[in-house]
Amino acid sequence: MGDLAGVTAKLPYLQSLGVDAVWLSPFYKSPQADAGYDVADYRAVDPLFGTLDDFDAMLEKAHSLGIKVIVDLVPNHTSDEHAWFREALAAAPGSPERERYMFHPGKDSKPGSGDGALAPNNWKSIFGGPAWTRLTNDDGTPGEWYLHLFDTKQPDLNWENPEVHDEMRSVLRFWLDRGVDGFRVDVAHGLVKEAGLPDWDGAAAMVEGGLSAPGAHSEAVEPHTARLHIVPAADNSAGPVATAVEHKVKPPLDPPSPFFDQDGVHEIYREWHRVLAEYDGDRMLVAEAWVEPAERLARYVRKDEMQQAFNFDFLLAGWDAERMAEAIESSLDAAGSVEAPSTWVLSNHDTVRHPSRFGLEDPTTFPKGIAAEDEQPDAALGLARARAASMVSFALPGSAYLYQGEELGLPEHTSLPAEARQDPSFFRTKGVERGRDGCRVPLPWKSAEPGFGFSEAASAGTGGVGAAGKVPAAPWLPQPEAFGELAADVQAGVGGTTLELYRSVLAFRRAHGLGSGTFQWAEEHDPANGVLAFHNRDVLVVINMGTAALPVPAGLRVELSSDGSSGEASIVPNSGAYLVAL
d(CA 126, CA 200): 13
d(CA 528, CA 559): 26
Which residues, including other chains, have CB under 8 Å from residue 467's CB and lie 6 or more apart? 446, 449, 453, 456
Q: How far apart are CA 575 and CA 582, in angstroms?
A: 23
The question of whether 280 is a catalytic residue gets the answer no
Determine the distance from the C-alpha atom of residue 470 to the mean position of all C-alpha atoms in its chain, rounded to a whole number: 33
Q: How far apart are CA 354 and CA 290, in angstroms?
A: 18
Q: What is the CA 128 to chain-centroid distance, rounded? A: 18
The one catalytic residue among 3, 80, 186, 292: 186
Among residues 278, 282, 339, 361, the one annotated as catalytic is: 278
What is the rounded distance in angstroms from the CA atom of residue 137 to the CA atom of residue 49?
Answer: 36
Measured between alpha carbons, how far is 478 from 140 in angstroms, rounded to an integer?
42
Give how far the C-alpha of residue 63 lies from the chain's centroid of Cα atoms, to the nearest Å. 24
Which among 401, 402, 397, 345 has a CA at the least distance from the CA of 515? Answer: 397
DSSP conformational letter for 567 = B
Number of CB atoms found within 10 A of residue 5's CB:
14
Active site (annotated) includes residue 295: no
Residue 437 DSSP class: G
d(CA 471, CA 517): 48
3-state secondary structure string across 146-160: EECCCCCCCCEECCC
Residues in Cβ contact with 61 at an 8 Å cutoff, skipping those fewer than 6 apart? 8, 11
- Positions marked catalytic: 186, 278
